[in-house]
Structure formats: structure tokens, C-alpha cells
Amino acid sequence: MKRLLVFPFLILTFNLLAQFNTITTSFPSLAINADAHLNGTAGIGSVSDEHSIQGAFNGNPAILANGSKYVSANLNHAPWLRRLVPGVSNNSAQFALGISKRYALGFQFKYFTLGNIQFTDQFGNVTTQYAPTETSLQMNQAFRISGNWSIGAAFKLASAKYLSNSNAIVFAVDLGTQYQKKFVERENLKTFFRWGAGITNLGNKAFFENSSLSNYIPTTLQTGSMFSVHSKAGNGWLVNNVSYQVSKLLVPSPPRYKIDPATMDVIQDGNGELIVSSGRDPNVPVMQGVVQSFYDAPGMAGGYNENGEWEATTGQKISEEWSEIIHHVAHEVRYEVSDNLILKMREGLFLEASAKGGRKYFSFAPGIELYGFRLGYSRWLAFGQNTNLSGTHSFSIGFHRKFGYKWRSLN
């Protein structure tokens, strides 16, 4: 029965066990990464250097156009929330091709399973079992429009099968841009600055079969910057990347509704609709919801007056809007021993306000690359009020090589 109780939270939100005024969405797999590189850097996908293109599939499609011709393929697997429900996993396969120095094309397939869910009657007897899944297919295109700028777009078709009679299909797009500038170029030292921004999962609401329910998908704004230092180390190069990103859901916040002071029950109007007391009506078209998400917080602290209206404490509305911003900080050190051997270590810090879900964790991800073949692993160490993500890990195996690359020995 425990598995059944957890199930609705998994499909409606990725802010599990959240308190106060969390924002819920359908299709959480669209916002969850299975890739060890991204999970090792606390989910920073809006900006990247030319060594890694994974952020193009989960943050900023412009990253694919990195000024080189290459071929890249990755397989990713991430057991998910095993502390709550066994059998949950997030999986993806990615392929990218830098066709020219100015144009790149990519594809991603995602498969998210919630394991086998048992449904019981009032006596605890199992009545049926079902394995809910989410799948998505994505195509990316990216263009290098100048020596410093790139732009990109991704198109996604996603389907969800939560129950045998409760399915949904959504179409969404990602849009992004990235800027990079080289500041120092010496024989033994190079420095770079990069900035990127992307809007992901901008698409229609999820409407479920045989139900009047609908919900937003996790449309997200991300923007970040990266400072890179390449220094000569023996016959190779030591690369240090420091990144910072902020992200925000572009989905309406739940409002406070008017209540009957005598019974404390919410009040409905003549059409059977709840009456918004503070904040904004969340049942609006997608684009209106995107704009509205920047100013619709009802204020978490406050109280109801004698008329059943919510009165937020002074400054609480703007404070709640700021609390919707998630902060990501990451560092990567990469020792390029030669063209064919690269050792990597990534660390990250993910910070979400307690009132919006309270996800806080430290991540780390060692990796190795040998003759273009890549192997990566990441793990999260959660802290704070929401520790259910602690121990979450990801595995990635892949291949990345530039066209015309000369395969030299390790010597």
C-alpha cells in the first residue's frame, strides 16, 4: 500500500515531500537528468565547454554547435528515489553529430519507469498491478552564428502511461543560446568565459484520457556562466571549470483561496470554481502561465481575516517569488594527459528553498576517457529536510571524437 500512496506524488511533481507552497507538474522525467556529467555538476545544463555536449539535451540546445565536427553517443542510467519506491529508474540514449563547424544535429530517447505499482482494495488485497512509464523522443538542431555565439532548438514528443486508462501526450520545445569569449591565450595558459541561457519544456498542458484533469509540464528557465582556466601540466593540460546557474519553473504558483471563516472550508463561486484570495488563478493558457509565474506568488506567511481573505505578511509575496529560484554551483577539474587519455572529477551543489521543496544536495562525479570512449559515475549526498534523494547515482558510457582526429599513442 505504501507504493500506491507514493505514486501520485511521483507523477505530479518532482518536489517530493515538499512543504508550504510547492509547484507541481506532470511529466517529471522531462526535467530529470540520467546523465552522470550533468548530475555530477548539480544539473547545470545551460552552459558548457566544448568537451561536453550533454547539456544540449537537458538545458541549452545551443551547446551542440561548439565550432568543431564531431560524433558523440551516450547511454545513461539512473536508479531514482530508491529510498521511497524500488524499481524506479530514469534512462536515456543520446546521439549527436557536428556536421560542420557551424551546424550540429542531435537526438535523445528517454525512458522513465516507476516500477510495478500494486493497487489494493479496502482490505489490502491486491486487485491489479501496473507499471507506469514516461517516454520521450527529442531532436536537436544548433547553429554557430558567429565566432562567439550559437543558438539552438529542440523538439520533443513525450507520452505517459500512468494507468491503463490514464494516458497523455505532450509536445514541447527547448530554446537556447550560448556565448563564449577567450581572454588569454599563451603557450602554457588559456582562459575562457562562457554564458548560456535556455528555456526547456515549453509545451502544451498534459490532458489525461477519461479525466477532466490537466496539468502543466515542467517548463523551466535556466541561465548560467562558466569561467575556464587551461594550464600546462607536463605534457598535458589541466582544465578547471567553475560554473554557476540559476533556474526557475515557469509554471503558476498555487494561490490562496477564499474560505468560510466559520468552517474553514474553501468557497466556490456560482460556477463551482474556487475563489482566489491571494495570488493568481493558475488555470490559464500556457503562455499566460509563463508570464504570470514571475508575479503570482500569494505569500506564504500570513493569515485569513474575518472575511475569509488571505492577508500575506508585508514583503512575503516578493520573498516567495525569489524563493522559486534554484541555485546550482559546480566545479570540474580535467587532466588531459594526452589527446587519448583524460581524467575527470566534477563536484556540484544544488540549493532549493525549503518552502519550494527543500532539495539540497552535494554531488560528485569521477570519469575517464580513453581513445574517445567515456565512462562516468555520479552520486548525490543530500542534506536538509528532504534527504530522499541521498544516494541517487547515475552511470554513463559513451563515445566522443572529433572528425579527422589523429589517434596518437598515450606517449
Structural domain tally of the chain?
1
- C-alpha 312/C-alpha 44 separation (Å) is 34
Q: Domain with 75 in it: what CATH number?
A: 2.40.160.40
Answer whether residue 162 is part of any domain: yes
Answer whether residue 313 is part of any domain: no
Q: What is the pLDDT of residue 44?
A: 96
State the pairing for strand pair 189-203/133-144: unpaired
- C-alpha 159/C-alpha 365 separation (Å) is 30
Q: What is the pLDDT of residue 13?
A: 38
Answer whether residue 408 is part of any domain: no
Q: What is the pLDDT of residue 193?
A: 97
Tell me the sheet residues that pair with 245. 224, 328
Q: What is the pLDDT of residue 223?
A: 97
Question: CB of 351 within 8 A of CB of 327?
Answer: yes
Answer whether residue 288 is part of any domain: no
Mean pLDDT in runs of 10 for the chain (411 residues)?
A: 38 41 90 93 94 92 93 94 80 96 95 81 73 93 94 96 81 97 92 97 88 87 97 94 97 92 87 88 93 92 88 90 96 94 96 90 96 95 77 93 59 35
Residues in the chain: 411
For residue 83, the 8-state DSSP code is T
Q: CA torsion 93→99→104→108, rounded to 10°?
A: -10
Report the Cα–Cα distance between both ends of the chain, in Å, rounded. 59
Q: What is the pLDDT of residue 404?
A: 65
Containing structural domain, residue 384? 2-253+324-402
Q: What is the pLDDT of residue 126?
A: 75
Contacts of 233 by beta carbon, 8 Å cutoff, 6+ apart: 335
Answer whether residue 210 is part of any domain: yes
- Is residue 359 packed enough to be buried (19+ CB in 10 Å), middle (13-18) or exposed (0-12)? buried
Cell of 388: 530522499
Answer whether residue 272 is part of any domain: no
Question: CB of 297 within 8 A of CB of 329?
Answer: no
Number of Cβ within 10 Å of residue 305's Cβ equals 11
Answer whether residue 410 is part of any domain: no
CA angle, 14 then 330 then 321, to 5°: 50
- C-alpha 238/C-alpha 234 separation (Å) is 9
Cell of 150: 550559437
Answer whether residue 312 is part of any domain: no
Write down the H helix ranges in 21-109. 36-40
Query: Of 376, 378, 367, which is closest to residue 336 (Cα–Cα)?
Result: 367
- C-alpha 324/C-alpha 279 separation (Å) is 15
